[in-house]
Structure 1
């Protein structure tokens, strides 16, 4: 009786939280994805606030600064703390790296790679580990920001939710984008910036289907972060009139200047990473050595520590001489490159904003050489920070909306848009990568963005091939071949040698089309062999297979296990490969348009 009462009383509640019903609701309507995006926005806002509070608490405890202060703008009198703290952080991080190397063999995947290659699948455990590593790095003063940890943990939670609900590939990728959007929106109090960060850098495309859940996640995450912390990231540009046409010339030049600086910074990080790899220093010891360099630089100026929030506002609010600005820029660039190159976990998002602002203020000293230009040093700083961030991070609209939301000035936004487009164009034309995709390139990946290319890699020759192949010895005669393979029995036969290695393909119609001659009774079938050195391997994807078919002009090819053994494991036709490739392309198109 009591059991029946409970079923009636809580039946509706149980059915509401039933995973099967929730999954069906998400698949049936866009409203379900909006609710999922809202939930992800709440968790993202909470995660960002928690990480921010932990980081600032660590700065207070470790460096002895005021609760309301920022590390990069604080006055730390104890020089030993400035030197030793990054080293201690490197030791702690190195110990963590050593333990993880023994217990976890798979590399950690970030949101861009997850959406590009794995259909949005992220390990929540790995995401938590990345966030902890980011907190250790930033909390002990390494010159990295928390944005990488923000997006990782938020996207990891979103991916876990989508996986539990067994969402389709496209919906899971969208939900990961919702997590990243919520993370950046909460970090900068900028929902439009967060939304377009997801569209440009995490999802890789914009569509009506993804618009609502991503924007809802960014808005709700911003509200949650405001309620929990109340911190705003704003820049006061002062009283500024309208932008005149003459102002665009220095803005465009500054955009190109920042593009060159961004390329140098990315190359610098890669150079230090390569230097560390070629050295005999074990991976767990590298962060501590990097911490020594960062600590020594912090003795010169604490502005190189952490992400640089306090240092950014400090330099914008004061008039500083060119040599000092150049010195801070060089020290911060070196500290960031050494921090990331030596193994500290974090990103260059805010560091690129800080260095870009310094570049803008340096460039502002050339303003008298531009006739009729009306820009102030603070405006140059805003243009510079957006332009350098685009050069390193990517996302022209993301950085344009960031400038709009942190200044609240529409005329400046048009100026920033022109500069960031110039910066993006120069980087893409001369370098071709953002910081994240450049690191993928160094690992041997061909990812240029978060566009979904993982389905191409999963559509492999091994999945498409036929295993029921007809084989024959390459040493048999034509007469024996005609006896074993009557006309019409098969279209082609794969030849193997005495060691069962692939030796080529014979087309059955070609054998029967040749005239019968008594002198050719002992003629070997090897004389009719084609494609002796042309074959496929199971790990090749459909795109690679199609390229080989086009090159060899063959209708079908044999599939061998590897280049050494060359054992025949199947065969694949060009027509079937192209049909499956076209079907998958159409499927992705329908997913984007919402037809699935």
Structure 2
């Protein structure tokens, strides 16, 4: 008995402690920093573990040396190249077939979670996506692990955030911290990780979010370094200074990579259609066989391409060989993703971009031997600009180059190229690869900016259901007797089937011009907005567009597009006020006012 009482007392004490801790975290963004450090440390450790598992899988499957990356090998066993991706694809195909059979919804990635769900990520889904990414990369498919890194880092952050009952803005911030730590740990680049989170996951540069994101990013990078080093770290030798005359040529390179990036994203749905006719379980098997065939030609198409990129930075290559590797790697990436393998294009875009830069400098040298661009500078510019074109984040890619080279001159020209690429892709295409894939699924988001509140703020939530209705044959005088002026903005006119046929505003109804004929004129004669209505599923932004187009103060709400049954009404004044309130709430964190 006493033991039970003591147990209950201890439980109450721990509950009180948890309540106080949650209240502390919600009171000020300063207290989010320790939580961000914990998230960063966990993300850094998991990134290191995943990278080690993938490397061990490459060693066991392909028989490569311990200290050599898969894509850096001169050749691999043809049998291993064909069988490993096919078997890995079979495992993924069975998993996808099972998911569809059990009608489990698709996993949500960090960008979608922050844009539409207030940072709410499923830990189960994050574990599944990370394991599928590990299988894909481990068997040699042409994808990187960075998608799995950010997914699991953000998943842990969301789990902890929900455990501490954080507010929507704070939960989104924690998801950004998880992604920042994962990228920082992967590349050994904490500033890059921080800007990755701000540009691609959180969606804004915020004073209030800077400290937690930087703390998580540093913790992730230091943890990975302590555990053995960043899996995607690149050692760049001293780079020569960039002359002013070379800027124009490198800006031209940025425009070329913009076109390549857009072409890659446009090609994605076409490659998916190539596999659409196959059973879902068979698609990654066939994709794995094709990628394996490419690997027999050159192993540089396998996995993310980190080893190949390090190798190609310092080796002379013919123009034909560079072009061949670019074509095979891009095709292998698109086939891998289209057929059902899981992974990211972050590092693959860096690798292909560096080869485009090398190709560009070699062609310029061939055209005019007097006009020489340092191939390393061209590779870094191509790497960053194609990364911007496909992944997004001009500052992310620029700081990645800065942290690799520690050269401000080179970073300046890379930043200029990244800005040109970002503007060009945004103007001509409008999406990064992540948001383009969401667009193909029917979503309309173009960044991680929080628009989930907009979808939740529907007409159904805003409307009033105590709508005043009168039959069309009712006289104006009768309507005046039933509805007192000022009692409501207007009344809805319905037919014998109780369907909407128009509305009339009460000020119009009580116009002095109608006093003498009010007993003789039916209310239908005053009907307005006969064909303009709202439906409950509309969000507030769509509703505001209807109000603006109709120049209306009030609109009726009918139950569906196929029905005219009136379920309520909404006034422009109230809708506009709630819209402005939600915009203010969503953007209040930009200046640090998170409360």
CA RMSD of aligned residues (A): 2.6
Residue of structure 2 equivalent to 1:525: 523
Q: What is the CA–CA distance in structure 2 between the aligned matches of 1:488 and 1:79, rounded to whole Å?
A: 83
Residue-by-residue CA offset, 1:421-464 (whole Å, 9 max, x unaligned)? 12212211211211111112222222111111111111111111
SS in 1 for 2:271: helix
3-state secondary structure, aligned to 1:499 = coil
The answer to whether the 8 A contact 2:62-2:76 is kept is no
Within a 5 Å distance, the mapping from 1:381-530 to structure 2 comes to: 381-478=379-476, 480-485=478-483, 490-513=488-511, 514-515=513-514, 523-530=521-528
SS for the counterpart of 1:242 is coil
Does the C-alpha gap of structure 1 residues 425 and 490 become closer, same or farther in structure 2, counting only changes over 3 Å?
closer
2:586 aligned with 1:588: yes
Partner of 1:271: 270
Q: Residues 197-208 of structure 1: matches in 2 within 5 Å? A: 197-208=196-207
Matched pairs, number: 592
Equivalent pair of 1:493/1:505 in contact (CA under 8 Å): yes
When residues 197 and 530 of structure 1 are mapped into structure 2, their CA distance, relative to the original with a 3 A threshold, is same
* Cα distance change, pair 510–380 in 1 and its aligned pair in 2 (3 A): closer
2:106 matches 1:107: yes
Match of 2:252 in 1: 253
Structure 2 distance, partners of 1:275, 1:527, is: 59
The alpha-carbon deviation at position 10 of structure 1 amounts to: 8.5
Comparing 408-417 with 572-581, which one deviates more in the overlay? 408-417
Matched, 1:154 2:153: yes
**Partner residue, 2:38:** 39
Q: CA deviation at 1:561?
A: 1.1
Contact 2:206 2:592 in 1 (8 A): no
**Contact residue 75 and residue 298 of structure 2 kept, 8 A:** no
Superposed displacement of residue 48, structure 1: 0.7
Q: Distance in 1 between matches of 2:471 and 2:561?
A: 20
Q: Distance in 2 between matches of 1:165 and 1:351?
A: 37
Q: Distance between the aligned counterparts of 1:577 and 1:41, measured in 2?
A: 41
TM-score scaled to structure 1, two decimals? 0.94
- The answer on 1:569 being equivalent to 2:567 is yes
* 1:80 CA drift (Å): 1.2
Distance (Å, rounded) in 1 between the aligned partners of 2:364 and 2:424 = 22
Distance in 1 separating the partners of 2:401 and 2:50: 24
Comparing 362-371 with 381-390, greater Cα deviation is found at 362-371
The structure-2 alpha-carbon separation of the partners of 1:231 and 1:509, relative to structure 1 and needing over 3 Å to count, comes to: closer
- Alignment gaps of 5+ in structure 1: none
Q: How does 1:259-408 map to 2 (within 5 A)?
A: 259-276=258-275, 279-368=276-365, 375-408=373-406
CA contact (8 A) 1:492 1:507 kept: yes
CA–CA distance in structure 2, aligned partners of residues 90 and 254 of structure 1 = 36
SS in 2 for 1:572: strand
* Mean Cα deviation higher: 479-488 or 436-445: 479-488
What do residues 333-375 of structure 1 show as CA deviations (whole Å, max 9, x unaligned)? Answer: 1000111111111111010011011101101114445797664
In structure 2, the residue matched to 1:550 is 548
Secondary structure, counterpart of 2:317 in structure 1? coil
CA distance 1:253–1:488, change in 2 (3 Å): closer
Q: Greater shift after overlay, 571-580 or 484-493?
A: 484-493
2:236–2:404 contact (8 Å) kept in structure 1: no
Distance 1:527 1:308 in 2: 73
Q: Distance in 1 between matches of 2:377 and 2:566?
A: 66
- Work out whether residues 361 and 372 of structure 2, in 8 Å CA contact, stay in contact via their aligned partners in 1: no
Q: CA deviation at 1:273?
A: 1.8
State the alpha-carbon separation in 2 of the partners of residues 483 and 204 from structure 1.
54
1:569 partner SS: strand
Q: Deviations over 1:65-87 (max 9, x none)?
A: 22222111224552111112111
Q: Which moved more, 1:51-60 or 1:355-364?
A: 51-60
Residues 555, 575 of structure 1: 8 Å contact kept: yes
Q: Taking structure 1 as reference, are residues 230 and 12 closer, same or farther at Cα in structure 2, changes over 3 Å only?
A: farther
Determine the structure 2 residue equivalent to 1:61. 60
What TM-score, normalized to structure 2? 0.94
Conserved in 2, the CA contact under 8 Å of 1:170 and 1:592? Answer: no
Q: Which residue of 2 aligns with 1:85?
A: 84
SS in 1 for 2:560: coil
3-state secondary structure, aligned to 2:36: helix
Aligned mates of 2:234, 2:558 — CA distance in 1: 62
Partners of 2:103 and 2:46 lie apart in 1 by 24
Q: Which residue of 2 aligns with 1:27?
A: 26
Which residue of the partner structure matches residue 244 of structure 1?
243
- Partners of 1:399 and 1:354 in 2: how far apart? 13
Residue 535 (structure 1) aligned to one of 517, 533, 536? 533
For residues 94-120 of structure 1, the C-alpha deviation after alignment (integer angstroms, 9 at most, x for no partner) is: 000111123353232111111111111
- For residues 111-156 of structure 1, the C-alpha deviation after alignment (integer angstroms, 9 at most, x for no partner) is 1111111111111111111111111111111101011110011001
Aligned partners of 1:78 and 1:13: how far apart in 2?
Answer: 62
C-alpha separation between the residues in 2 aligned to 1:398 and 1:310? 22
User: What per-residue deviation string (whole Å, max 9, x for no partner) do you get for residues 393-429 of structure 1?
Assistant: 0111100111111223232111211221122122112
Instruction: Give 1:217's aligned residue.
Output: 216
Counterpart position of 1:134: 133
- Whether the aligned pair in 2 keeps the contact of 1:111 and 1:202 (CA below 8 Å) is yes
Q: Secondary structure at the match of 1:283?
A: coil
Q: CA shift at 1:315, angstroms?
A: 1.4
Query: What do the CA deviations read for 1:489-514 (whole angstroms, capped 9, x no partner)?
Result: 54421122222222211234434435
Structure 2 unaligned spans of 5+: none
* Alignment of 1:50 onto 2:45: no
Deviation at 1:236, TM superposition (A): 4.7
Task: Check conservation: 2:192, 2:397, Cα contact below 8 A.
Answer: yes
SS at match of 2:557: strand
Q: 1:526 to 1:30 in 2, by over 3 A?
A: closer
Mean Cα displacement is larger for which, 471-480 or 330-339? 471-480
> 1:244, 1:373 within 8 Å by CA — same for their partners in 2?
no
C-alpha separation in 1, matches of 2:347 and 2:278: 29
Give the distance between the partners of 2:461 and 2:145, measured in 1 at CA: 41
- Asked whether the 8 Å contact 2:239–2:377 carries over to 1, the reply is no
